[in-house]
């Protein structure tokens, strides 16, 4: 019997220095940026067009080792995403605004440490959307990119070696739209949706019992109580090759087969990874 454990990533902590707030002058037809204390020294943001569009280009430079953007509209989901930084601290991405028409607040946080859990507020601006995001941009699939990432780490340990770390690194490195800890993208229906390689599957205390030749019964446990894996290959209806780590006492990324037509207990969810940002 195989069993696995998962340690969920701690919730990120954001804070802002508010003893001094300075509003930066904006260029014509660009969003006005309000800086938190010291933020303007740590982040240089290129003018953001106030064009009422359903996406915003975020580009500039930072002295921080980690840069987080937090985007939200009142009454809707607030997303927090790390922005990929070049070696010189530059960045250039298009952020997709998916919650429809309205006013969004875009806030930047930074840390002098890589992969930090605590961040200082740098500055923010608001952006008004009057045009819906085109349908073809609302669900840009990342499955191929997730599989390419998995191929680069097979046989190695990702992060701390926890199962969840593999999914996190695959999603973060490809600028995915997801909500920690386990909402990995668009939730699919395993009964009616087409499941693809690169989809991410989350197990909770799931047990599978399969009858093998010569009367042998194989029992598999996935999740004690949680386990995360990437569907590496689809063999048939509910039959997959999984790529995962922290499985069977192995903390390196490995592949194994599973037949979910023989579940005897527990639950699972499958998610389609989709883009939140696009590199420019």
Query: What CATH number does residue 186 fall under?
Result: 3.90.1720
Q: Does 17 score more than 70 pLDDT?
A: no
User: Are residues 147 and 274 located together in one domain of the fold?
Assistant: yes
Q: Among 122, 138, 154, give the residue marking a domain's end.
A: 138
User: Are residues 67 and 103 located together in one domain of the fold?
Assistant: yes
Q: What percent of the chain has pLDDT over 90?
A: 78
In a domain, 3, yes or no: no
pLDDT digits (tens, 9 = 90+) for 233-269: 999 999 999 999 999 889 999 999 999 999 999 999 9
User: Are residues 61 and 94 located together in one domain of the fold?
Assistant: yes
In a domain, 2, yes or no: no
Domains held by the chain: number: 2
Q: What is the pLDDT of residue 5?
A: 39
User: Which of the two residues, 134 and 29, has the higher pLDDT score?
Assistant: 134
Rounded to an integer, what distance in angstroms lies between the CA atom of residue 99 and that of residue 111?
A: 28
Local structure of residue 214 (DSSP, 8 states): G
In a domain, 115, yes or no: yes
User: Are residues 124 and 155 located together in one domain of the fold?
Assistant: no
Helices (H), 81-205: 135-138, 143-153, 163-173
Strand residue runs (E) in the chain: 13-16, 21-23, 34-36, 43-45, 55-62, 66-73, 78-82, 90-96, 102-111, 118-129, 186-188, 200-212, 216-236, 239-244, 254-259, 263-272, 277-279
In a domain, 123, yes or no: yes
User: Are residues 134 and 150 located together in one domain of the fold?
Assistant: no
- CATH at 40: 2.60.40.10
Domain extent, residue 273, equals 143-279
Q: What is the pLDDT of residue 213?
A: 80
Q: Among 111, 138, 165, give the residue marking a domain's end.
A: 138
Residue 239 vs residues 156, 196, 204, 209, 262: alpha-carbon distances, Å: 25, 11, 18, 14, 10
User: Are residues 93 and 108 located together in one domain of the fold?
Assistant: yes
Q: Does 188 score more than 50 pLDDT?
A: yes
pLDDT digits (tens, 9 = 90+) for 27-61: 556 789 999 999 999 999 999 998 999 999 999 99
Q: What is the pLDDT of residue 1?
A: 35
User: Are residues 105 and 219 located together in one domain of the fold?
Assistant: no
Neighbours of 141 (CB within 10 A): 16
Q: What is the pLDDT of residue 107?
A: 98
In a domain, 211, yes or no: yes
pLDDT digits (tens, 9 = 90+) for 208-243: 988 778 778 888 889 989 999 999 999 999 999 999
Residue 119 vs residues 90, 109, 179, 189: alpha-carbon distances, Å: 18, 6, 18, 36
Q: Is the dihedral of CA 54, 14, 279, 35 positive or negative?
A: positive
In a domain, 4, yes or no: no
Q: Among 138, 168, 199, give the residue marking a domain's end.
A: 138
Q: What is the pLDDT of residue 22?
A: 47
User: Are residues 148 and 272 located together in one domain of the fold?
Assistant: yes
In a domain, 6, yes or no: no
CB-CB contact of 84 with 175 (8 Å): yes
In a domain, 200, yes or no: yes
User: Are residues 43 and 121 located together in one domain of the fold?
Assistant: yes
User: Are residues 88 and 165 located together in one domain of the fold?
Assistant: no
Q: What is the pLDDT of residue 26?
A: 52
pLDDT digits (tens, 9 = 90+) for 92-131: 999 999 999 999 999 999 999 987 889 999 999 999 999 9
pLDDT digits (tens, 9 = 90+) for 138-153: 899 999 999 999 999 9
CB-CB contact of 97 with 105 (8 Å): no
User: Are residues 94 and 150 located together in one domain of the fold?
Assistant: no
Q: What is the pLDDT of residue 150?
A: 98
User: Are residues 93 and 195 located together in one domain of the fold?
Assistant: no
pLDDT digits (tens, 9 = 90+) for 156-173: 999 999 999 999 999 999
């Amino acid at each position: 019997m195989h069993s696995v454990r998962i340690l969920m990533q701690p919730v990120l902590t954001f804070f802002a220095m508010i003893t001094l707030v300075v509003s930066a002058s904006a260029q014509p037809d660009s969003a006005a940026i309000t800086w938190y204390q010291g933020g303007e020294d740590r982040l240089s943001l290129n003018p953001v067009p106030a064009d009422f569009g359903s996406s915003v280009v975020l580009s500039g430079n930072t002295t921080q080792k980690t840069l987080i953007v937090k985007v939200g509209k009142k009454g809707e989901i607030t997303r927090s995403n790390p922005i990929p930084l070049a070696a010189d601290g530059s960045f250039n991405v298009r952020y997709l605004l998916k919650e429809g028409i309205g006013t969004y607040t875009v806030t930047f946080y930074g840390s002098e440490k890589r992969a930090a859990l605590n961040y200082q507020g740098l500055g923010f601006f608001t952006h008004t959307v009057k045009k819906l995001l085109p349908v073809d941009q609302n669900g840009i699939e990342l499955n191929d990119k997730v599989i390419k990432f998995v191929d680069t780490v097979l046989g190695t340990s990702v992060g701390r070696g926890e199962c969840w770390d593999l999914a996190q690194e695959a999603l973060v490195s490809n600028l995915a739209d997801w909500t920690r800890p386990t909402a990995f993208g668009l939730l699919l229906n395993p009964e009616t949706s087409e499941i693809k390689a690169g989809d991410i599957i989350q197990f909770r205390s799931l047990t599978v019992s399969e009858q093998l030749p010569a009367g042998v019964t194989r029992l598999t446990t996935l999740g004690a109580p949680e386990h995360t894996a990437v569907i590496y290959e689809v063999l048939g209806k509910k039959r997959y090759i999984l790529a995962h780590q922290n499985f069977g006492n192995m903390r390196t990324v490995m592949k194994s087969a599973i037949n979910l037509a023989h579940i005897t207990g527990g639950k699972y969810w499958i998610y389609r990874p989709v883009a939140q940002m696009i590199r420019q």
